[in-house]
């Protein structure tokens, strides 16, 4: 009765917009800028944890879907001159690759690779919305006006580890406009041997053409020493299990975090209550 009265007083459109605004705010669905959305904080937390738990050992990071290199630049800033660190940066599009090559020309610890990371080695068609656009992606152009396609080389995370003769990577960032799920589908062997400290990935509606979901991610990590966390502005929060409230396809960053790393980060652990709200356990 009260709900019907509210609808009559405000009208459906206003009620919808107000309800959605409150819902999105309660979920902490905010902008996706690295300095504000928790990405920069996660970089700092993981590097600080590495300094404490593995002093004297190199810190290795992969930047997959680098675009203009903001994430790699943040790693460089946080790591500083004292830490032995490196970033392998992957960006297949010519314009963006030229940009990051110039940007990091004087930083030998950031190695730029003009290739896309996927679930296999080979080649694939990539949609180019713009030479430095953040929405260039593997797959078909669909309804994107003015887009063109180019053929790009593909690699995998495991292939790159093998090529460099290393058995682990401490932090991986994946931002591949919906192709993230394909990369995750290929890393089960790495998760089984604990080869990745933390892997951050972007989740949004672009997962749908690849038939991806966070439900699938929970299945991918089942039986491994990894947990799924949402990256919030104040730090990562771990979900104990899948819930339908997760798969809303609102753009956000999540992470697969190895248990010992999650403990070192002091990650908050959530639990689902009866009304499908995730609250600190």
pLDDT higher than 60, residue 1: no
pLDDT at 135: 87
pLDDT at 193: 97
Tens of pLDDT, residues 120-134:
999 999 999 888 898
Q: Are 8 and 40 in contact (CB under 8 A)?
A: no
pLDDT at 31: 79
β-pair type (235-238, 226-232) = antiparallel
pLDDT at 141: 61
pLDDT higher than 70, residue 140: no
pLDDT higher than 80, residue 6: no
What average pLDDT score do residues 212-227 get? 98
pLDDT at 15: 80
pLDDT higher than 60, residue 73: yes
What average pLDDT score do residues 44-51 get? 97
pLDDT at 13: 87
pLDDT at 230: 97
pLDDT higher than 70, residue 262: yes
pLDDT higher than 90, residue 10: no
pLDDT higher than 80, residue 145: no
DSSP 189-247: HHHHTT-EEEEEEEESGGGGGGT--HHHHHHHHTTSSEEEEEEETTEEEE-SS--TTTT
pLDDT at 143: 61
Tens of pLDDT, residues 14-35:
888 888 898 888 888 877 889 9
pLDDT at 29: 85
Q: Kind and range of the H or E element at 87? A: strand 85-90
pLDDT higher than 70, residue 176: yes
pLDDT at 18: 85
- Who wins on pLDDT, 146 or 100? 100
Average pLDDT, the chain: 93
What average pLDDT score do residues 209-214 get? 95
| Neighbour count for residue 1 (Cβ, 10 Å) | 5
| Neighbour count for residue 36 (Cβ, 10 Å) | 12
What average pLDDT score do residues 50-58 get? 94
- Percent of the residues in the chain that have a pLDDT greater than 90, as a whole number: 79
> What are the phi and psi torsion angles at 232 (to 5°)?
-105, 165
pLDDT higher than 80, residue 142: no
CA distance 150 to 148: 7
């Amino acid at each position: 009765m009260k709900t019907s009265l509210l609808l009559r007083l405000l009208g459906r459109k206003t009620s919808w917009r107000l309800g959605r605004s409150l819902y999105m705010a309660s979920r902490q669905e905010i902008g996706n800028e690295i300095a504000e959305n928790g990405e920069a904080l996660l970089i700092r937390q993981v590097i600080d944890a590495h300094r404490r738990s593995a002093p004297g050992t190199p810190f290795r990071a992969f930047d997959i879907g680098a675009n203009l290199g903001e994430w790699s630049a943040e790693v460089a800033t946080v790591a500083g001159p004292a830490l032995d660190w490196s970033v392998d940066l992957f960006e297949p599009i010519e314009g963006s690759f030229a940009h990051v090559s110039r940007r990091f020309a004087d930083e030998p610890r950031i190695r730029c690779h003009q290739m896309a990371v996927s679930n296999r080695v080979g080649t694939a068609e990539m949609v180019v919305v713009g030479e430095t656009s953040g929405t260039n992606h593997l797959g078909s152009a669909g309804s994107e006006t003015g887009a063109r396609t180019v053929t790009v080389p593909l690699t995998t995370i495991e292939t790159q580890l093998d090529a460099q003769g290393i058995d682990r990577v401490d932090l991986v960032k994946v931002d591949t406009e919906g192709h993230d799920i394909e990369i995750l589908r290929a890393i089960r062997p790495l998760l089984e041997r604990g080869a990745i400290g933390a892997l951050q990935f972007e989740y949004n509606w672009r997962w749908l053409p690849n038939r991806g979901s966070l439900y699938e991610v929970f299945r991918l990590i089942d039986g491994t020493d990894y947990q799924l966390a949402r990256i919030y502005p104040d730090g990562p929060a771990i979900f104990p299990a899948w819930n339908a409230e997760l798969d809303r396809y609102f753009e956000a960053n999540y992470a697969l975090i190895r248990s010992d790393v999650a403990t070192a980060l002091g990650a908050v652990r959530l639990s689902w209550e009866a009304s499908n709200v995730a609250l600190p356990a």
